[in-house]
Structure 1
């Protein structure tokens, strides 16, 4: 890595974190573009096969050195990979067949609030009044998207299947995020590498299911381009960039950048896919981001008082 690159890019936390969230937002577009080009479980499996292969070759010596710690925590690592990587991505790409990229992006904005709720329920982390207001605002935005902006739909409790799958996926990833609080004490890149290996292995049942159901689709040329982007961008580079951003400015400040994912997803969906951006999308996005802002504002103030 050249000195210029390290200074201009790898040493710039804001740039790294913006690139990370841009790639994550682009993942919603990839999910929609993959329809008709490659089946969802094939995307998941090939994505993690590529990532795990690249990372294993790169990190093999460090994996061997840290293997005793890895082996001692293998059960937990498997569960985290199944829920955070295989489960989340399987539901994510399946949801893309039934809902829009705009909806996928905005619904992802609910994850910080789901993590906050999980921290309250499982770790007894205190929740302040503004955080409660933030949770309410975010969940209202999510409900608005799930009901497609229709009060009648919401009252009848009928939800677009894709939005429902995406909500479950967000719960899975929130659980994975909460588990990171007590993750095995191994280096970040080694941990990510082992997770990706487990994800590749646990993706096989999805392939078998699609094959048995007669819906397995081998990637077309365009499908391979989508898979390569997903594997090298949102799955690999973004993880490395995010880890580096956390290293430079800390997890609290770095985590705020995740709020950019639904914004990038909505912009890219309109520009690339030509999707409609309607009034209920704008209101839902405002509620989701406003709710997160309320929570972060209180957390930041508390941090300053404690400091």
Structure 2
């Protein structure tokens, strides 16, 4: 593996780690603030940080007029629509279950990538996705194949899944023209504009009267720096080289990391069944990236 490959795969893995921990951090913030306030604050901090760094090193590019509509669309899907679904969904389900649902993004992204970018769906990607979905199912369902969770929470999280797929589709067009720091900076800036009306209407009065602890503010800062800034930059960098399908398959690792983090930080249970599902998810992840010789031989025939 050359240096370029190490940087690409390392960036993707770091993005997954930061997003995994975000499921834990938001639970801490929700002890005081509502979902809209949580996202609004993390976007403000993230945007300020990114523009300060970007301007100081001269990495913020000018967005061409022909790309501004796509940029607004990018921000609408994520952070706005994605975080509306994810944030309110996580109010109703556990961190681990939320991460598991988000991990189904690779199931739908190859379809969008095929129709909008003509990316081929290789047999190993399909095989890796199927194995990962089995692992996800092991984590979600009990022995009687019953799912005990809020239907509304699950629906909201699947709204986030659809938004993430649409986001990746639009991002692919812009990632070849602009560097990750530029895209994420403007994406979050437009996201603030989208979130401002809901914040003023629904959360302003509660925000004024709330009394956050040091732990809550630390969690907000971590969400802003790692989940809303660095994770998106790393993911955009990886997607530029790997494409939509290969990049999104790594999202299957999120419930693995989240289950471990939630166990240690939030004291969520980590049963044998969850551990089994986690192992299967990891297997599907590596399977999708492996060089399968028998698949190559069958393709040549």
Alignment TM-score > 0.5, same fold: yes
> Residue 112 of structure 1 contacts residue 292 of structure 1 at CA under 8 Å; is this kept in 2?
no
**Secondary structure, counterpart of 1:151 in structure 2:** coil
> Residue 108 of structure 2 contacts residue 165 of structure 2 at CA under 8 Å; is this kept in 1?
yes
Structure-1 separation of matches of 2:265 and 2:83: 22
**Secondary structure, counterpart of 1:73 in structure 2:** helix
Q: 2:189 aligns with which of 197, 202, 208?
A: 197
The answer to whether the aligner puts 1:102 opposite 2:96 as a matched pair is: yes
> Residue 256 of structure 2 contacts residue 281 of structure 2 at CA under 8 Å; is this kept in 1?
no
Q: Structure 2: which 5+ residue stretches go unaligned?
A: 1-5
> Residue 180 of structure 2 contacts residue 233 of structure 2 at CA under 8 Å; is this kept in 1?
no
> Residue 245 of structure 1 contacts residue 254 of structure 1 at CA under 8 Å; is this kept in 2?
yes
Partner of 1:207: 199
Aligned pairs (5 A) from 1:1-307: 17-60=12-55, 66-67=62-63, 69=64, 71-143=65-137, 145=139, 147=141, 150-153=144-147, 160-183=151-174, 185-211=177-203, 218=210, 220-221=212-213, 222-242=215-235, 250-251=241-242, 258-297=251-290
TM-score, normalised relative to structure 2? 0.77
| 1:86 Cα deviation from its structure 2 partner | 1.8
> Residue 42 of structure 1 contacts residue 218 of structure 1 at CA under 8 Å; is this kept in 2?
no
**Secondary structure, counterpart of 1:66 in structure 2:** coil
TM-score, normalised relative to structure 1? 0.76
Cα deviation 1:234-274 (Å, max 9, x = unaligned): 12233344566678xx4368766554432221111111111
CA distance change for structure 1 residues 277 and 164 in 2, over 3 Å: closer, same or farther? farther
Supply the RMSD in Å over aligned alpha carbons. Answer: 3.6
Q: Structure 1: which 5+ residue stretches go unaligned?
A: 1-10
| 1:143 Cα deviation from its structure 2 partner | 4.9
**Secondary structure, counterpart of 1:51 in structure 2:** helix
CA distance change for structure 1 residues 137 and 121 in 2, over 3 Å: closer, same or farther? farther
Structure-1 separation of matches of 2:126 and 2:238: 28
> Residue 146 of structure 1 contacts residue 159 of structure 1 at CA under 8 Å; is this kept in 2?
no
Structure-1 separation of matches of 2:186 and 2:83: 17
